[in-house]
Amino acid sequence: MLDKNKKFSCSRRSFLKGIAATGATAAVGGSIFDFKPGSFKKAEAATGTSAKVFQNACPRNCYDTCAILSTVEDGVLKKVTGNPKNTYTRGRLCAKGFSYTRRVYSPDRIKYPMRQKGRGSGNWERISWDEALTEIAEKILQIKKEYGSTLPICLNKYSGNFDIMHYGIEGMFSSIGYTSRATGTPCWPAGIDAQTFDMGTIICNDPEDMVNSKYIILWGVNPAWCSVHSMYFVEEAKRRGCKVVAIDPILTQTASKADLYLQIKPSTDGALALGMVRYILDNELYDADWLTQNSIGYEQFFGYVKNNITLEWASEKTGIPEIVIENLAREYAATKPANIWIGYGMQRHTNGGANVRAIDALAAITGNIGKSGGGAQYAHLQTWGFNYHAMLQSPPEGSKGGKDRAINMNNFGAEVLGAKNPPIKMLWIACRNPMTQDPETSVIKKAFEAMDMVVTAEQFMTPTVEMSDIVLPVTTFFESPGINVSYWHWWMNLNEQAIKPMYEAKNDVEIAMKLSAKLNELEPGSCTFPTSGDLEEWVGKEFNDNIYKQFGIQHWKDLKKGPVKAKNSRVAWKDGKFLTPSGKYEFWSEEAFKFGHHPLPVYVEEMKATDNYPLRCISPHWKLNIHSQFQNLDWMEAINDAPSIEIHPRTAARYGIKNNDNVKMYNDLGYIILPAKITETVSEDIVVVYEAWYKNRNYNVNYTVKAIPADMGEKATGMPGISFHDNFVNITRV
Amino acid sequence: MVKQLGFIIDLNKCIGCKGCEMACHNENCLDDIHYRKIVTLAEHPKNFFGFLSMACNHCRNPACIKVCPKGCFKKRKDGIVLHTNSNCSGCESCIGACPFRVPQINPQTGKVEKCNFCFKRIDQGLKPACVEACIPEALYITDLSKPLSEKYHEILPGFTIIRITRPSIRFILPQPPVCFWRHDK
């Protein structure tokens, strides 16, 4: 079981090695009907005698991966609620989750395949599935003939849907031959590598265990917006007497609920952690027994801290007064168990991985690793040990090219344009929206423009679809089956098909099957992906004995009774057996050194503002979306339809900016214009713009974001992360 | 009146996530109107993200009942104020009379609608959808006719709550964190 999981412990991204396809359950072109949302009956709707309840799973790239119960009446999804059997999501959904009926029945959905005459022209025409697949298949075969391999064809698929069956998209690509693949993960790899160097992989305690903490530091994480179900456990810990501290450059919603908030200079978190270590060391508050039994290299680490770190330095770096650092260090070291939740935001820097290593070290020297209520909590992938049946497909015999070619997802535009021998000529985009979510939008656009063909499988007319030649309509998770687990909690939720596919939408695996059929019709043997199959049976093919044992079930259909939780969930590293080369917690990591880092958790200088661009723009997640999803739905638009730029009052005064003035935020890459929101929740040297896609606005913070790599990520995920928050800009009133 | 059901909002716990508002939409299949809304409390320079989740306050002395010419409103024995819209002419008198402007015209029907406390759920022993959806358990209901703890406040500093109709809403006041703001040298 552990071995199996170990294989998957690096990253969901790094095992893109295959293809898969499936038979679709619903008839092609099944249910085209002119759905009028207004025709809902009122509250009685869901209580009718024909109402059926289905189990669904929210597949979004979110900590919470909610268990959903869907009420369907006469084939219409009437409402969704949380499934109370999942003790992490506790029968509750978030605002986004409650809006799902609006997504399924949105009039904006892509309803049938379409072809655009001229990328970006908006000149779309409806085509049949057969026409679309023929055109795509002919292009694939033509490229293969012209270049001798399928390497000029590139897939960019990632986090739009984390259902395990969706790895069938990668499977489809494997079954046509060796191809180019967007590789890496934008959001969190620096922290993954950091914990991999320290402990061997990422494993966190069950988040439900937070109630046992006596001291919680929410470090660069905003669960009130991004992991809202965790807030119950934070509140419950508080009720039981736990002190909650938030450390963040921004007074976030989460920080506003803490007992103590410390505003820190962005990207200096490692300096704070090392300053705390110095205090703990000087005052002998560390756990010597734990260190001798469970770690290597702590002597060298203590030596480094003694020789290089002072509280005065830490204070100067972080902007936090020495006395506050001392108090924090003393409280944290003296209160057991103490938990640090390390956010993904704080590692999106050129020193993000180093900062996470410093925080890990703080947790380790105080003996908080391997304890209930303790931990250096980042994430885990321990419940992801599926078969990846849909994904693991073999290339056709005699395929040329030798192996897949990795294209850095985090510098995608430039790498696509720069690919040689052979060049990249065709893109397939699925579960992604690079035109709004990737850095350097203008380069992404150039890459799209340079293609012979761009195919996007989508539900909405996103800016990425606008730059495509062909769009294929895909189902929502209510319209096809799947299986979902989380990178935070330890539950597994089955996703049942609750309604028929809308319009002509198809599941991505079904698209793969149809494409395979077309390819084989045009050139027998050109694609190994199965051309038919039952999608639900394919869900079953993802399971194995290890998963059954881990979750204590006999058969995957047991999940129809409700979600189940892994039996091995509670406390990470309890046995002190780390997955590092030494089997110990490694303060001194040869592995880190091999990847070009200092072997110890040392401070790495943060990026600083320049004269031309004196402000740091932080672009965190917004509460009403997950990246480019949700904010386009009518219920969300009704609450919020206007991004803004948050500016400190003194900064605003310096630039002569008042509330709601239009502000141009710019650097040498590009600019955006946004209304100002003057607030002291940000500090004077930063501005905050939340990343999102709004349907009818030319708004995209990534116009200004460079593809600067984070320090770490290469070991576990193949590519370093992106320093999204090392974006330096200037502003002016317009 | 045997009972007076009302809403309690613990502003210490409310994170303004809008889950209650969306749960209400979802439960009632609402298109164009909002039975429950999240209001951002007075902008403070160091805004501590004060939010107020508010729907119909099911007042003890509801003005809507008094002004409706068609008698569409009634108050149940548990204090819930219901609007039955079969006779509603859309005259909007109730909207004008309500201190919280809770009733709204549904543009699809031209008639008034408002929060009904999920009375059908209440009758089945369930909680209103908004309450059941509240993740930090900041929103809950209680019977206000019983003696109440002094932590439940009728007024909110810095936010006007008109008391004339005796709205059935109480607050637990927020305690902001101790903050250390940056102190650059």
Written as six digits, the tokens of A545 are 């004995």
Contacts of B133 in chain A (CB under 8 A): 81-82, 92-93, 98
Tell me where in chain A the CATH 3.40.228.10 domain(s) lie.
Answer: 205-377
Tell me where in chain A the CATH 2.40.40.20 domain(s) lie.
Answer: 615-733
Contacts of A253 in chain B (CB under 8 A): 15-17, 49
Tell me how far CA of residue A374 lies from CA of A260, A337, A339, B136, in angstroms. Answer: 19, 5, 4, 22
A155 within 8 A of A428, measured Cβ to Cβ: yes
Contact A623 B18 (CB under 8 A): yes
- Domains belonging to chain B, first-starting first, are 5-172 (3.30.70.20)
- HEC profile of A497-557: CCCCCEECCECHHHHHHHHHHHHHHHCCCCCCCCCCCCHHHHHHCCCCHHHHHHHCCCCHH
3-state helix, strand, coil in chain A (%, to 5): 35, 20, 50
Written as six digits, the tokens of A4 are 């199996």
Stated as kind and residue range, the H or E segment containing A135 is helix A129-147
Name residues of chain A where pLDDT drops below 50: 1-46
Q: Give burial (CB, 10 Å; 0-12/13-18/19+) of A387.
A: middle
- HEC profile of A265-297: CCCCHHHHHHHHHHHHHHCCCCCHHHHHHHEEC
Q: Which positions 567-596 of A are in contact with B (Cβ < 8 Å)?
A: none
Name residues of chain B where pLDDT drops below 50: none
Does the domain at residues A205-377 carry the CATH identifier 3.40.228.10? yes
The verdict on A146 touching B (C-beta cutoff 8 Å) is no
Contacts of B28 in chain A (CB under 8 A): 42-43
**Residue B180: closest C-alpha in chain A:** A262
Which residues are registered as beta bridge partners of A673? A664
8-state DSSP, A469: S
A708 within 8 A of A659, measured Cβ to Cβ: no
Query: Which one of B51, B85, B135, B183 makes the best mutation probe of the A interface by having the most chain A beta carbons within 10 Å?
Result: B135
Contact B135 A256 (CB under 8 A): no
Contact A235 B180 (CB under 8 A): no
pLDDT in tens, A495-530: 999 999 999 999 999 999 999 999 999 999 999 999
Contact B15 A228 (CB under 8 A): yes
Q: How many CB atoms lie within 10 A of CB B35?
A: 23
Written as six digits, the tokens of A95 are 């605002």
3-state SS, residue A711: coil
In the block, which residue shows the tokens 């995209």? A700
- Count of CB pairs separated by less than 8 Å, A with B: 147
Contact B180 A681 (CB under 8 A): no
Stated as kind and residue range, the H or E segment containing A189 is helix A189-199
Written as six digits, the tokens of A60 are 């979004």
Q: Which positions 495-534 of A are in contact with B (Cβ < 8 Å)?
A: none
Contacts of B134 in chain A (CB under 8 A): 92
Query: Pick from B15, B25, B31: which is nearest to A253 by CB?
Result: B15
Q: What angle do the packed helices A269-282 and A352-365 form, to 10 degrees?
A: 20
Strand order in the sheet with A564-565: A482-485, A491-495, A564-565
The verdict on A621 touching B (C-beta cutoff 8 Å) is no
Contacts of A622 in chain B (CB under 8 A): none
A717 within 8 A of A187, measured Cβ to Cβ: no
A395 within 8 A of A178, measured Cβ to Cβ: yes
pLDDT of residue A19: 25
Closest by alpha carbon to A620, among A253, A323, A356, A293?
A253
Tell me where in chain A the CATH 3.40.50.740 domain(s) lie.
Answer: 9-190+406-564
Q: Which residues fall within 8 angstroms of residue A372, CB to CB, at 6 or more apart? A: A205, A209, A212, A337, A570, A571
Which residues are registered as beta bridge partners of A729? A615
Residue A235 backbone phi and psi in degrees, to 5: -65, -40
Q: How many CB atoms lie within 10 A of CB B32?
A: 14
Strands (DSSP E) found in A14-126: 52-57, 67-73, 76-82, 114-116, 124-126
Closest by alpha carbon to A256, among B42, B20, B46, B184?
B46
pLDDT in tens, A385-427: 999 999 999 999 999 999 999 999 999 999 999 999 999 999 9
pLDDT of residue A5: 38
Query: Pick from A79, A624, A681: which is nearest to B29 by CB?
Result: A79
**Residue B20: closest C-alpha in chain A:** A95
pLDDT of residue A15: 31
Residue A296 backbone phi and psi in degrees, to 5: -125, 150
Q: To the nearest whole angstrom, how far is the Cα of A37 from the nearest Cα of chain B?
A: 8
In the block, which residue shows the tokens 């609620």? A81
Contact A82 B18 (CB under 8 A): no
d(CA B153, CA B137) in angstroms, rounded, equals 17
Q: To the nearest whole angstrom, how far is the Cα of B162 from the nearest Cα of chain A?
A: 25
Contacts of A256 in chain B (CB under 8 A): 48-49, 176-177
Contact A79 B27 (CB under 8 A): yes
8-state DSSP, A570: S
Written as six digits, the tokens of A214 are 């006596």
Q: To the nearest whole angstrom, how far is the Cα of A16 from the nearest Cα of chain B?
A: 35
A377 within 8 A of A359, measured Cβ to Cβ: no
Q: To the nearest whole angstrom, how far is the Cα of B125 from the nearest Cα of chain A?
A: 15
d(CA A423, CA A418) in angstroms, rounded, equals 8
The verdict on B177 touching A (C-beta cutoff 8 Å) is yes
**Residue A236: closest C-alpha in chain B:** B136
Q: Which residues fall within 8 angstroms of residue A410, CB to CB, at 6 or more apart? A: A184, A186, A439, A707, A709, A719, A720, A721, A722
Determine the residue type at A173: F
Query: Pick from B16, B31, B185: which is nearest to A253 by CB?
Result: B16
Q: Which positions 20-39 of A are in contact with B (Cβ < 8 Å)?
A: 37-38
Which residues are registered as beta bridge partners of A80? A70
Q: To the nearest whole angstrom, how far is the Cα of A551 from the nearest Cα of chain B?
A: 26
Q: Which positions 231-270 of A are in contact with B (Cβ < 8 Å)?
A: 231-232, 235, 246, 251, 253-265
The verdict on B2 touching A (C-beta cutoff 8 Å) is no
d(CA B173, CA A614) in angstroms, rounded, equals 39
- For every residue of A590-627, DSSP letters joined together read HHHHHTTS-SS----PPP---SS--EEEE--B-TT-BT
Q: How many CB atoms lie within 10 A of CB B127?
A: 15
Contact A82 B133 (CB under 8 A): yes
Q: To the nearest whole angstrom, how far is the Cα of B27 from the nearest Cα of chain A?
A: 6
CATH architecture, range A9-190+406-564: 3-Layer(aba) Sandwich (3.40)
Query: Which one of A68, A70, A251 makes the best mutation probe of the B interface by having the most chain B beta carbons within 10 Å?
Result: A251
d(CA B146, CA B139) in angstroms, rounded, equals 18
pLDDT of residue B44: 56
The verdict on A616 touching B (C-beta cutoff 8 Å) is no
**Residue A264: closest C-alpha in chain B:** B182
Question: A181-210 b/e with 16+ CB inside 10 Å = b?
Answer: bbbbbbbbbbbbbbbbbbbbbbbbbbbbbb
Contact A320 B120 (CB under 8 A): no
CATH class of A615-733: mainly beta
Q: What angle do the packed helices A298-308 and A269-282 form, to 10 degrees?
A: 100
Residue A562 backbone phi and psi in degrees, to 5: 150, 165
Q: To the nearest whole angstrom, how far is the Cα of B129 from the nearest Cα of chain A?
A: 9
Closest by alpha carbon to A481, among A537, A533, A430?
A537
In the block, which residue shows the tokens 């024995």? B77
Contacts of B116 in chain A (CB under 8 A): 43
A212 within 8 A of A371, measured Cβ to Cβ: no
Determine the residue type at A140: I
Tell me how far CA of residue A685 lies from CA of A164, A389, A705, B49, in angstroms. Answer: 42, 49, 17, 21
Contact A92 B47 (CB under 8 A): no
B32 within 8 A of B107, measured Cβ to Cβ: yes
Q: Is the dihedral of CA B50, A225, A249, A697 positive or negative?
A: negative
Q: Which positions 67-106 of A are in contact with B (Cβ < 8 Å)?
A: 78-82, 90-99, 101
Contacts of A327 in chain B (CB under 8 A): none
Percentage of chain B beyond pLDDT 90 is 76
Contact B45 A225 (CB under 8 A): no
Closest by alpha carbon to A201, among A62, A376, A44, A321?
A376
